[in-house]
Amino acid sequence: MKAALHLLILAGIIAVVAGCRPAEKGAITMKTNDKTPDTNVVKVTKTDEEWQKLLTPEQYRVLRQAGTERAFGAAYEEFSKQGAGTYVCGGCGAELFSSKEKFDSHCGWPSFYDPANAKNVISRDDFSHGSVRTEVICAKCDGHLGHVFKGEGFNTPTDLRYCINGVSLKFVPNGEKVPAKPEPAKP
């Protein structure tokens, strides 16, 4: 009984100390991105069942459960081949990034140095996995997009790397209209 109590106390102390660690190199702590998010964004709210009908299982796992897709997967290969256009949220269709700000960071996930439409991209502290990171989410549907890192030495205007899950994005080539709402997932 005493041993179990000591282990419980020790686990609590470790959790507190781990939560107070300084941010790891490359992590940034900010509640929002450097641009002011629009507080008038109309939120998209759906039940879990509605999201599951709208999204593929992988999109649901990433966007709704804060998962991470496999590095160098099919979505990344597709991203690498895409030309000029806009990247919208795979969940709600909100404009998120522009191809003008995309770059190859060789990390296996789509990378951008700046959100094209800051009112639809927000960030918040992420304390999961025993470290401090900055999570990037869609302001419109609260979908998990990925994380943003600072100070990695990439030759970009902002020194930021928005490391985004490819399945959380939908590419709209220049000249095509951004869809009003996404199509339901194909079974």
- Choose among 63, 64, 59: nearest CA to 48: 64
- Confirm if 154 and 103 have CB atoms less than 8 A apart: yes
Euclidean distance between CA atoms 138 and 122, whole angstroms: 6
Catalytic-role residue among 92, 138, 141, 163: 163
Do residues 55 and 89 make contact, with C-beta atoms less than 8 angstroms apart? no
Asked if residues 175 and 86 have their Cβ atoms less than 8 Å apart, the reply is: no
Q: Is 141 a catalytic residue?
A: no
Using DSSP, state whether 163 is helix, strand or coil: strand
Strand 95-98 to strand 111-112: parallel, antiparallel, or no bridges (unpaired)? unpaired
Q: Which residues are catalytic?
A: 163
